[in-house]
C-alpha cells in the first residue's frame, strides 16, 4: 500500500505545482481530478502500475518544463527547460519504477 500512497502524493504535488504556476488552485485540483479519472480505468483494465508511472513522469516533466522556463527567460535561451524536463522525467520514471519493482514486483 505504501507504493500507492507515494504515487498518489506525487501526482497531487505535481498537479498542484502546475496549478500554482498558472496561478489557479482550482486548475490544479482539476488536473488532479483528471489524473485520477485517467489512472483509475487504466489501472482497472491493465492491473499494473504502469499508468501511475506514466502519469507521474508526464506531470513531473511538464512541471519541470514550466518552472524551469524562468531559467530560460533569465539566460535568454530555450534549451535549459527542455533538457531539465527530459532529465527529470527519466529520473522520476527510473526511481519510481525501481521503487515499485522492489515492493510490488508482481504488478509490473
- The pLDDT profile of the chain, 108 residues, written as one tens digit per residue, is 678 888 999 999 999 999 998 888 899 999 999 999 999 898 888 888 899 999 999 999 999 999 999 888 888 888 888 999 999 999 999 999 998 888 887 776
Q: How open is the CA angle 78-19-62, to the nearest 5 degrees?
A: 35
How far is residue 15's CA from residue 5's CA, in Å, rounded to a whole number? Answer: 15
Of 80, 52, 51, nearest to 66 by C-alpha is 80
| Helix (H) or strand (E) segment spanning residue 45 | helix 25-46
Q: Which three cell numbers stand for residue 87?
A: 532529465
Q: What is the pTM of this model?
A: 0.87
pLDDT at 1: 62
Amino acid at each position: 500500500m505504501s507504493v500507492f500512497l507515494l504515487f498518489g502524493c506525487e501526482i497531487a504535488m505535481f498537479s498542484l505545482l502546475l496549478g500554482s504556476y498558472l496561478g489557479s488552485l482550482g486548475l490544479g485540483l482539476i488536473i488532479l481530478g483528471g489524473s485520477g479519472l485517467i489512472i483509475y480505468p487504466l489501472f482497472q483494465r491493465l492491473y499494473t502500475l504502469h499508468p501511475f508511472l506514466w502519469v507521474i513522469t508526464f506531470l513531473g516533466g511538464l512541471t519541470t518544463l514550466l518552472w524551469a522556463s524562468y531559467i530560460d527567460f533569465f539566460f535568454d535561451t530555450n534549451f535549459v527547460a527542455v533538457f531539465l524536463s527530459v532529465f527529470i522525467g527519466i529520473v522520476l520514471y527510473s526511481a519510481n519504477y525501481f521503487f515499485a519493482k522492489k515492493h510490488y514486483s508482481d504488478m509490473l
